[in-house]
Amino acid sequence: MSVDASRSAGGGPAPAAAPDVKTQAQGATIATGTEAKRLSIDDLLYLIRYNPDDRGHLRVINDDICREKCVKYGYACTRFCPAQVYKWEENHVSVSWEGCIECGACRIGCPFANIDWKYPRGGFGVSFKNG
Amino acid sequence: MSGNERFDCIVVGAGPAGTAAALTLARAGVKVVLFERGEFPGAKNVMGGVLYSKTLNKLVPGFWKEAPLERPVIEQNLWMLSSDSVAKVGYRSPRFVPGHAAEGGVPDEGPANAFTVLRAKFDRWFAQKAVDAGALLITETAVEDLLWENGKVVGVQTGRDDGKVYADAVIVTAGLHALNSLIPKMADGRLGIKPEHVALAVKQIIALPKEKIEDRFNLPAGMGATIELVGASTSGLTGISFIYTNADSISIGAGAMLSDYVKSGKHPYDVIEDFKAHPAIKPLIAGGEVKEYLGHLIPEGGYNAVPKLYGDGFMVAGDSAMLVNSVHREGSNLAMESGRLAAETFIKAKERKDYSARSFAAYRDALDKSFVLKDLRKYRGIQHYLDSHPQIFLSYPEMVSEAAFRFLNVDEAPKAEHEKMMVQAVTNRRSMMGLLSDLWAGWRATR
């Protein structure tokens, strides 16, 4: 699957390739012998069960700060976010909050405290099957 | 629940700390409400996860006969990975699993020292214990703020319409992020928690048949093993990886300091996929089906980062209080003990009808006397030590690998030469003085 093309920047509709509300994907990889397939972040996100809200809970506060100050970190959040919520798109960081797994690394790890961070509203967001 | 209903005590978050608190309160006849933002308790909760029995067994005696546990842990291992090799130490003992039938029967006496668990299942069961005891559990409800009056916490603002709820006190057990959001005393200017205080961990659940797990890990039927790994398992970041056996899956994950992630620019999902592809790891998970991918922040600030634990009308427990012993991989037991002690403190305060900071100071005293803060105090130097000695995680595993290879490889060179090469393998990477100073500093940091 490819989510990249359909992933929206900040607050748009849920990406078409993301799992539906409260459906759960089957396992992502069947390895043959010892040759396990390397999983991409999109493969991994597809395994997660979400109850997506229609409003975003994450927001970049000031795009200028990303553009002007975060180059030397390679746009930090786009690298360390384990769910690749943040992506560099030409001149700003896009926020696919639908795929957030609510670890909060972006809130603490953004070198410029430039992310307006909240948990999703009660009952929404990620809903782990195993934990 | 109507908007103006009043409780004796509000507990925020149905993880191990919150449920332990609510359970203890409800049993004492306290009118308690337990708020959980997830769809059910456990839906948002992640750990490795090894659960230690002692603390839970105080709260729910005989828990192991009914709780959804994965495997009693009979064996624990530490592996040092170099880029293509592994050095292993481990310990297996039936003393870890007293009363557990060797061939997987239902245990009848004494819990094992530890069990592997999956938190979405375990937390749900545990929270039901609090409900059975009389606590009111309200799920899908986020607590967005504490309500203050005259410098005293008097309730919470929930995300529901008409969402103010009042009580004599609030016990905050809402995870790490409560330090930055619910407890304003921590928000001194910027955020209370720094990237050096947290590890970012990612994990996968990989399904495998029971028999395969037991074959590959050399386990008696029904028993489990844990492996912690240092070295090449975290792609050059300061951190620890793990492999735990569940009933019919493997929990495999990698954790590294968030500050290291920020500096390195690495992707956590690449780190775990690289780890899975290591030649020593691949055969363990071969043929498995990845069922879930998870991520979580672990509070590792240690004793020096423990916040103010109480105030007028509130107490803080679990991850919200930084109560994690990262050296010994303990967290959920510290959470349960701190939640229980906060509840006990509330029960005594209720007798005096005094919910002030002075009254709740007894909570801090109780934690100081318990293993929770005694252990964190013992390791208070460790965070600084590991920060300033990254070689412990990075070059030592390579050093061990090289030395072991020199010692064990048979090539008809005289053994005296081997010994020399072995010493060289070490001293090329770290001088004798450096080694001694690392050892000494490490010993000091844990005293």
pLDDT of residue B104: 52
Distance CA B358, CA A27 (A): 53
- For chain B, the structural domain boundaries read 6-69+118-183+307-380, 71-116+193-303, 389-445
Q: Please indicate if any CB of chain A lies within 8 Å of the CB of B187.
A: no
**Predicted ipTM of the assembly:** 0.92
Domain A4-126 has CATH 3.30.450.30: no
Distance CA B93, CA B374 (A): 27
**Best B118, B179, B297 residue to mutate vs chain A (most A CBs within 10 Å):** B297
pLDDT of residue B396: 87
Of the listed ranges B49-53, B114-118, B289-293, B418-422, the one predicted with least confidence = B418-422
B312 token code pair: 């007028």
**Amino acid occupying residue B354:** D
Interface of B with A in 236-275 (CB under 8 A): 249, 258-259, 261-262, 265-269, 273
pLDDT band at residue B382, thresholds of 50, 70 and 90?
confident
* Region B71-116+193-303: CATH code: 3.30.9.90
* Region B6-69+118-183+307-380: CATH code: 3.50.50.60
Residue B443 in this model has a pLDDT that exceeds 70: yes
Distance CA B370, CA A16 (A): 51
Q: How far is the alpha carbon of A27 from chain B, nearest alpha carbon, in Å?
A: 5
Q: pLDDT, tens digit, for every residue of B1-14?
A: 555 679 999 999 99
Q: pLDDT, tens digit, for every residue of A109-126?
A: 999 999 999 999 999 999
Share of chain B above pLDDT 90, in %: 71
Q: Please indicate if any CB of chain A lies within 8 Å of the CB of B195.
A: yes
Q: Which residue of A has its CA nearest to B193?
A: A108
Q: How far is the alpha carbon of A12 from chain B, nearest alpha carbon, in Å?
A: 23
Residue B400 in this model has a pLDDT that exceeds 60: yes
- pTM across the whole model: 0.91
A128 contact residues in B (CB cutoff 8 A) = 42-46, 119-120, 292, 294
* Burial track B294-332 (b if 16+ CB lie within 10 A, e otherwise): bbbbbbbbbbebbbebbbbbbbbbbbbbbbbbbbebbbb
Residue A33 in this model has a pLDDT that exceeds 60: no
CB contact under 8 A, A128 and B44: yes
Mean pLDDT, residues B39-62:
96
B288 contact residues in A (CB cutoff 8 A) = 31, 36
Residue B423 in this model has a pLDDT that exceeds 90: no
CB contact under 8 A, A80 and B204: no
pLDDT of residue B303: 92
B38 contact residues in A (CB cutoff 8 A) = 123, 127
Q: pLDDT, tens digit, for every residue of B230-282?
A: 999 898 898 999 999 999 999 999 999 999 999 999 999 999 999 999 999 99
